[in-house]
Structure 1
Amino acid sequence: MKTPFFFCIWYNEEYGKECFMKKRFLISMLLAILIFSGSFMFTRNQIQTAAMANLSEEEKKLVREAPPIDLDNILILMVGVDEDEKPEEGSKGRTDTMMLLKANFKTGKIDILSLPRDSRVDIEGNLDKLNHAHAYGGMPLLLSTLQRNFGLKIDYYIKVSFSAVKELVDAIGGIYLNVPVPISVPTLHVDLKPGYQKLDGNEALMFVRYREGYPDGDIGRVHAQQYFMKEFIKQMLSAKNIINLPSLISGYYSHIETNLLMGQMIKMVPLASKLSSDAMDMHTIPGKGAYIGDTSYYIIDWEDTSEMLNTYFKEYRFIQEDNSDQVVQESQYTEPQYTEPQYTEPQYTDNTQYYEENQNTQSWEDSGENE
């Protein structure tokens, strides 16, 4: 009969060599746990110390005085705006990219929800495209529109220009991505072939903006943006980049619009080391493309959307107050009746044919190469 394992904790000569071996294994296992735990804490402390080393005294003071961050969950609206696009008089510019990022610094879980720009929503009582909300009233109207239609209370927002995205990618030395279709924009000196490769800032910017080569048009671009965001976060969380993150935040803070204080953003850096790209899930508001008249929209499936939000963003669903008639608690907004013609894809370049021929051999994740 084998010696019970826990007897070895009180090992004596009665149990002989068998117990000695088990006790030695137990001690080795405990030592391994202690070494791993110590190494993990040492690494996190190293990251925090190294990350703060290059900050000025004024910046360190901002970090010390910054309000605390909720470690359980934080919800950030990330918005990309093309500052080169000539807005109409009085317009604040249309949002080309909109994503909600929820991060839990305790569990390391990340959820990212894409909001298609052509989504047909209620903007102050009028049905319009979601990306027009920012054009009409900037971030305040965009935030209230998201709250009105999706019943979400959003903590923070970060709005960046596309030129800032390009500079950030260059600042970290480029980004490795698997390009699924040819992307050629001669006027911007971009000519990407399919495959896993390193992109500079200009190429990465075209990667997230390009849509002509995808059979599903703008939704294909949404998937490309999700893939880019996942890989960008993954590469930013690497040890060599996360140490430089405070300096990047300090250097680019004046180039973004946000209600997060710089000190709060820098304070998140040591916490960010606990986030994992392996625990990152991507979601897209359910719906489909359709034309209403001559205008193409993304028609939201409100029932499926409400189910998705209650599953992944339940803690941020807005509870309607008795004195508020502006916010829909469960997104009870109902689309009006309209005749939906057969959705027709726009005319694509020859890239579409290439994509269809190679869609079984190219994918977002199958890089076939590791850095």
Structure 2
Amino acid sequence: MNKNKKPKLKIKNKKRFFIVSGIILTILIATAFAVKFYYDINRPEEVFKDTIEKNDDEFTEEDAYAQFDGNKINILFYGLDKNEYRDTVGGYELYRADTIMVATIDLKSKSIDILSVPRDTYVDIYDVYGKDKINASFAHGQQQAADYDGDEIQAGTDYLKRTVSELLGGIPIHFYIGITDMAVVNEIVDEIGGVEIDVKEDMYDQTRGGVLFAEKGLQTLNGYQYLAYIRDRGTESTKDKDRVARTQESFEIVFNQLKEQNIITMIPQLIDNYNKNIDSNLTLKEMTTLGIYAQKIDLGAMDKYVVDGDYEYRDNNIYYIPDEDARLDLVKEVFGIDFEPER
């Protein structure tokens, strides 16, 4: 009997050995990956190296990509004029970019520049003959969704990204973050406890019959109030530059608030909660890296710019016409690029 039991004991011990060894090996591999991940996300230059690295042999000295500083990355931020009302009541099928900003992050100097483009800016649209408002470039892209495997968001984003790039001298736009339903802003702002803003004057929501939504003075705006605040341009379409200024101001305020609340801890939660309404080509690793990097950015070094121009009525519509000389100077100042418009 004893002779029969000994082999069973050995087999049992072998199983236990392999199980324990497997657990230890899994822990070691997971630890190695975690260490490597932590090491990488604390070195943004390495994380974004492949994205911003360029082969200078492919470009002439005049090309914007060749002139662009290899220590910088450009991120396009946009928000669509899409919401539940327009989907269900208005029956909208095509959408426009309500907010358009390019954030230029200098990984070396730990600084950030924010450049805003008014939504009514009259520009050449990518792959379209003729001009239109820049916010319509997204809708033009949606109409070509068949070329993007039927993905309207991808198509719209690509047209917007290429149109913005052309306006700004052909700069590379490495990444984008798009809010495809602005209602998600309400939820995010409520989740972080509101945003404290010094409202300069009583403000009224024209989309709700002109009801007062924020009185003059310093206050904490909830999600609905914050979205109404950054979108408001009163009853005059020419006040869009005022809205751009409020958007930039509130972006800085939210940025500072997220820093104080430790932005890095919120990124995975926000991505998970709102991934249906937020579209981006940033990976989780890249977002986490930017979250850590953002903690080191000096807000005092955040410069804000707007494409300069004037409003004009053309064909019974109002457009924001960029000042060409100012545009060339702006691109040189912010991106270090000299260029001549091609069309």
Give the structure-2-normalised TM-score: 0.69
Per the TM alignment, residue 242 of structure 1 is displaced from its structure 2 partner at its CA by 4.4
Structure 1 residue matching 2:98: 3-state secondary structure = strand
Match of 1:304 in 2: 326
The 3 A distance-change label for structure 1 pair 213 and 231 is farther
Matched, 1:130 2:134: yes
Of 198, 201, 222, which residue of structure 2 is paired with 1:181?
201
Q: Tell me, which stretches of 5 or more residues in structure 2 are unaligned?
A: 1-29, 50-69, 142-155
Matched residues in 2 for 1:185 and 1:115: separation?
A: 23
Of 144, 161, 175, which residue of structure 2 is paired with 1:143?
161
Per the TM alignment, residue 272 of structure 1 is displaced from its structure 2 partner at its CA by 1.4
Match of 1:169 in 2: 189
Of 138, 162, 171, which residue of structure 2 is paired with 1:152?
171
- Alignment check: 8 A CA contact 1:249 1:265 kept: no
- Alignment check: 8 A CA contact 1:117 1:130 kept: yes
Matched residues in 2 for 1:129 and 1:235: separation?
A: 33
Of 105, 115, 118, which residue of structure 2 is paired with 1:116?
118
The 3 A distance-change label for structure 1 pair 214 and 226 is farther
The 3 A distance-change label for structure 1 pair 104 and 218 is same
Deviations 1:98-119 (A, max 9, x none): 0001112332211101111111
Match of 2:341 in 1: 331
Which amino acid is 1:136 matched to? H
Deviations 1:71-126 (A, max 9, x none): 93221000011222637989541111000011123322111011111111112221
Query: After the TM superposition, which residues 274-285 of structure 1 pair with which residues of structure 2 at under 5 Å, given as runs?
Result: 274-285=296-307
The 3 A distance-change label for structure 1 pair 166 and 61 is farther
Match of 1:86 in 2: 86
Matched residues in 1 for 2:76 and 2:184: separation?
A: 17
Which amino acid is 1:121 matched to? V
The 3 A distance-change label for structure 1 pair 97 and 215 is closer
Of 81, 90, 100, which residue of structure 2 is paired with 1:98?
100
Matched residues in 1 for 2:225 and 2:188: separation?
A: 12
Matched residues in 2 for 1:62 and 1:224: separation?
A: 40
Deviations 1:16-42 (A, max 9, x none): xxxxxxxxxxxxxxxxxxxxxxxxxxx
Deviations 1:226-255 (A, max 9, x none): 111111111111144444344333433343
The 3 A distance-change label for structure 1 pair 309 and 302 is same
Matched, 1:201 2:201: no
Aligned length: 265
* CA RMSD in angstroms, aligned pairs only: 3.1
Matched residues in 2 for 1:273 and 1:147: separation?
A: 28
Matched residues in 1 for 2:91 and 2:274: separation?
A: 28
The 3 A distance-change label for structure 1 pair 165 and 60 is farther
Deviations 1:136-192 (A, max 9, x none): 101111122223333222111111021122111111111111111211238497521
Which amino acid is 1:154 matched to? I
Deviations 1:350-369 (A, max 9, x none): xxxxxxxxxxxxxxxxxxxx
More displaced 10-residue stretch of structure 1: 141-150 or 76-85: 141-150
Q: Tell me, which stretches of 5 or more residues in structure 1 are unaligned?
A: 1-55, 318-328, 334-371
Matched residues in 2 for 1:222 and 1:61: separation?
A: 42
Deviations 1:180-211 (A, max 9, x none): 12112384975211111111111000001111
Structure 2 residue matching 1:218: 3-state secondary structure = helix
Match of 1:249 in 2: 271
Matched residues in 2 for 1:89 and 1:313: separation?
A: 40
Per the TM alignment, residue 215 of structure 1 is displaced from its structure 2 partner at its CA by 9.6
Matched, 1:290 2:300: no
- Alignment check: 8 A CA contact 1:179 1:194 kept: yes
Structure 2 residue matching 1:260: 3-state secondary structure = coil
Per the TM alignment, residue 330 of structure 1 is displaced from its structure 2 partner at its CA by 2.7
User: Which has the larger helix fraction?
Assistant: 2
The 3 A distance-change label for structure 1 pair 100 and 233 is same
Matched residues in 2 for 1:263 and 1:291: separation?
A: 46
Structure 1 residue matching 2:139: 3-state secondary structure = helix
